[in-house]
Structure formats: structure tokens, C-alpha cells
Amino acid sequence: MAVDTSARTPTFTYVDGDWFTGNPPLIGPVSHAMWLGSTVFDGARWFDGIAPDLDLHCQRVNRSAENMGMKATVAAEEIERLAWEGIAKFDGRTAIYIKPMYWAEHGQMGSVVAADPESTRFALCLFEAPMHTAKPSSLTLSPFRRPTPECAMTDAKTGSLYPNSGRMIIDARKRGFDNALVRDMNGNVVETASSNVFMVRDGVVYTPAANRTFLAGITRARIMGLLRQAGFDVREATLSVEDFMNADEIFQTGNYSKVVPVTRLDDVQLQEGPVTRKALELYMDWAKSTAGTDG
């Protein structure tokens, strides 16, 4: 039986100078991206007429492409302009995920494994995706680890890193949890399977120190800055599983859902606390007052 390849929500994709609806066929069986995994992407959000930090996401996808050995063929400012052009195609009632992407079509001559930067292609895909901000989540400690920069392309937001995240989530859900708390190869907590993570203890806000084993996200940095401006003591630190087990609050941050409270970590029950609520409040107030719009 053939698999339905149609997009699951209203979707528009810009590629090679044109906009297409749905899920256009872009990658074939001999494409380097399909065969050997040379894909990078980024993800911004549009909701309530705003797209917070859209410019930073457009800049980061270009850095990811270069770090993966490809060419950033579209200026970040042009990606941002195209994103607003795409946003205008929707009815404005549902939040949108904004996904700029690069991939290699061919491998290099003499070594097909390495991507040929001259074959880099670009697409910008936008699709409806409701927000799940503030929806409580449960975590379990994952048996799987984040790789070091010597072992994987951790300096790029690349699709090749996500099968590892996928198996973490599958394992967690088999055990009755939503997501997984993840460690690096040294056993220190770095993030969850799909987002950055914070903990609060005695009024101090902690988040794992960026050590290049995980994506230190744009929303993570924004939340850190806003909390500090509001007078909170926010520290990047090397954190253990025990630190999280003894936390007063735990919350996740990420572009997809912004701020998500954690109400369970294995056998530890938690409440959505005041710092978590304040983090979301500060973010939304900032987004609605200063985030970019199309004008």
C-alpha cells in the first residue's frame, strides 16, 4: 500500500523561485541528502501576528549549512523576507512553523560521501502547527547520550542528529513519559530529547552550560536574558541528574512550544512553579512588544 505523502496541515514551500502548496517532491533516491544525510534546517514561529527572533533563525540556518560543508546560497535577510511572503498565504488563525532548509544534491567527485557544496539547494517550508505552550510534560532519564563534536555534526542543526533524539523519545514513551532528560558522554545533563532544559533551586535558575554537545537554542538564550533583566540569578553550570532530581522546578524551552513546565521526572512529582510561569510571561510580553512583524 502506498504511503500518503501529502502534507498533514496547510503547507506552502518556496523552492527555485516559486511557491508550491503541499509537500512537493524535491529529493530523489540518488540525492546526497536522501542517501547520505546532508540536510540542515531551522525553525521559527509565527503566532498572533508576530515571529519572534525570526532574523536569528534565518542567520543560524546559514551557519548550519556552512558548518555541514555546504553553501549558504540565500542571504538571511532574503530568507526572512520570503518567510513573511509565505506567512501572508495563510488565513492567520493558526500558528505557523517556519522552516528554512538546505541540502546537497550531489557528493564530491572522488568521494561521494562528502557533500558537494556547489550542489547545495534551498527551500523554505511553512506549515500550520498549533502552539503547545505551557502544556505540562513528564521526563524520564534516557539511557542514550548526546555525542561530542568529534563524533557528530553538533555544530549544525542537521537532520542527521535527530534519529538519536527520536529513539530517546520512543524509549521514553514506551515507559509512559512524554520526553527524556539527556546526558552528554561525561554523564552531565545537557537537555531533553527535543528542547533545552532549566531547573530552579532555592530561587536560582540553572541551565546546562553550552559545551557543543547540544544545540544551545535561540529561545533558551532569550529566556536567560529576560529572566536576568527581571532580577533573577540565572547560571549556566555543569549539572548532574541528582541536581535535577532535587530541583524545585524544571521547565523546557524551545522554538516549537516556547516554555513547557515539567511536572514529573521519573518518580519525582513537581508542580508548575512561579519561575516557570514568569519565564513564559516575560517571553510573551517581550514577543508582543518588540518581536518583528511584516509592518
Pair 141, 181: CB distance under 8 Å = yes
The pLDDT of residue 292 is 52
pLDDT tens for each residue of 15-41: 999 999 999 999 999 999 999 999 999
Indicate the pTM of the whole model. 0.94
pLDDT tens for each residue of 177-226: 999 999 999 999 999 999 999 999 999 999 999 999 999 999 999 999 99
Pair 119, 105: CB distance under 8 Å = yes
pLDDT tens for each residue of 224-279: 999 999 999 999 999 999 999 999 999 999 998 899 999 999 999 999 999 999 99
Q: Alpha helices, DSSP H only, in 37-161?
A: 54-67, 76-87
Residue 291 in this model has a pLDDT that exceeds 90: no
Residue ranges with strand state E in the chain? 11-15, 18-21, 39-41, 44-46, 96-104, 107-108, 111-115, 120-128, 137-145, 179-183, 189-192, 196-201, 204-208, 234-237, 249-254, 258-265, 268-269
State how far Cα 82 lies from the chain centre: 20
Cell of 107: 557528493
Residue 293 in this model has a pLDDT that exceeds 60: no
From the CB of residue 241, how many other CB atoms can be counted at a distance below 10 Å? 15
Q: Which helix (H) or strand (E) holds 229?
A: helix 218-229
pLDDT tens for each residue of 70-81: 999 999 999 999
